[in-house]
Chains A and B, each alone.
Chain A
Amino acid sequence: MSLAIIKYNAGNIQSVLYALERIGATATVTDNFAQIQAADKVIFPGVGEASSAMRYLKERGLDQLIVELKQPVLGICLGMQLMCAYSEENDTTCLGIFNEHVQKFNPAKDSAIKVPQIGWNTIGDLKTGLFKNVPENSYCYFVHGYYAALGEHTIATTEYVQPYSSALHKNNFYGVQFHPEKSAAVGEQILRNFLSL
């Protein structure tokens, strides 16, 4: 099986590559169109800021490439947010695969809740084969200041300030807000599940 990780100006690409190595999978980090299109599975990682990431993708035509992919695609963190329609982060129009909108966490002024959310939180209401053998309320590692609202494509829910989409799914596209590559055994199970989709 061939596995491509989309290379762009995002921060956690090495971590994803190493996590795949730990579960015995070999991936190629590439921005080569033919290589991405020919891969059996594609991972769209990401730690960074939405507008500069979208600009980078557009300049290289990767935005069009991604939305037209037919094989299973997994967006991670910013990757998932970029697969949504719109992000409040610097007023950015995104890829529009999921119609959910990405908003900034906005806790009450007197609340002790900090933004960004950094740390381990639970995922629940798990749907699709991406979460096969993953128990409800498993802990995953999150680092994010913006979140995708709940919507028709929600396949996992997490609560921080309010309930939101910690994973999305539509057709061949999957997105997770948390970092499976840093989420210990649970994350490894989710990556294995993606590889078996």
Chain B
Amino acid sequence: MLTKRIIPCLDIKDGRTVKGTNFVDLRDAGDPVELGALYAQQGADELVFLDITATVEKRKTLSELVNKIAHHINIPFTVGGGISSVDDVSVLLQNGADKISVNTAAFKRPELIRELEKDFGSQCVVLAIDTRKEEDGEWYVYLNGGRTKTDTRCIDWAKQAVELGAGEILLTSMNHDGTKKGFALDITRTLATTLPVPVIASGGGGTMEHFVDVLTEGCADAALAASIFHFKEVAIPDLKRYLQEHHLAVRL
């Protein structure tokens, strides 16, 4: 049986992992290669490496780091942050990334998704969406690491991106990110039950129960978290055993 996936996310700045609360107040949590290998060994199902500063600082490639990661880590990993062209992606895949995630650049030029799907296949194109629920009750797409609001609804953009060739959606709720009060179950469920591709839920995971909630009630195919893993608030082996006790299929 296909399992639910647990995915630690390593936010990268200057070659080190960092994780902020609501995208500010960054804290240092170690060497990404070492940390990634440790997570792989503990039973993480995939890893995500996001260069969170890339969109602002226009830093183009993580290729050296990606190459190091690819040499050391024996599970699939996704790389994102500032990716805006077929060339960017080509370099990262050639250096051993399994998937890449696109966000702001794809929103500004949706055709990028089709180009990536055509050249590399939808299996390696992850669309990352940062979304926030506004007072009108709708979830809107935010760009540039959550700094720029758009008038596009999250579900509309997700549907369009999947039609263009996105193979997975990485959905981050800005309302929940950093709060450790649980994932955004409603929008996760909306996307996961509407779209024909897997949805990775991100933002708000604080306890093992939150993961059960988002993988059952939220219908997510995978759940992603960062600081709770980095600071050992939740250990991956414990989390996976807990999920199994709650009748979820996991890899142990």
- Is there a chain A Cβ closer than 8 Å to B95's Cβ? yes
Partner of A11 from the list B2, B5, B93, B95 (CB cut-off 8 Å) is B93
What 1/0 mask marks residues of chain A from 174 to 197 whose CB sits below 8 Å from any chain B CB?
Answer: 000001011111011000000000
Q: Which residues of B contact A (CB under 8 A)?
A: 1-3, 5, 40, 45, 70-72, 74-76, 93-96, 98, 120-124, 167-168, 193, 196-198, 219, 221-222, 251
| Cβ of A139 under 8 Å from chain B | yes
Residue numbers in A under 8 Å from B95 (CB-CB) = 14
Query: How far apart are A15's CB and chain B's nearest CB, in angstroms?
Result: 6
A residues neighboring B (CB under 8 Å)? 11-12, 14-15, 18-19, 21-22, 47-49, 112, 114-122, 139, 141-144, 159-160, 179, 181-185, 187-188
A121 touching B123, Cβ below 8 Å: no
Chain B neighbourhood of A121, CB < 8 A: 1-3
Q: Output the least CB separation between A165 and chain B (Å).
A: 16
CA distance A145 to B95 in the complex (A): 25
Contact B1 A122 (CB under 8 A): yes
Min C-beta distance of B92 to chain A, whole Å:
11
A19 to B123, CA, bound (A): 20
Q: Which residues of A contact B167 (CB under 8 A)?
A: 116, 118
Determine whether the beta carbon of A19 is less than 8 Å from that of B74. yes
CA–CA, A179 to B197, complex, Å? 20
- Do residues B74 and A119 form an inter-chain contact, with CB atoms below 8 A? no
* Assembly CA distance A116 to B221 (angstroms): 13
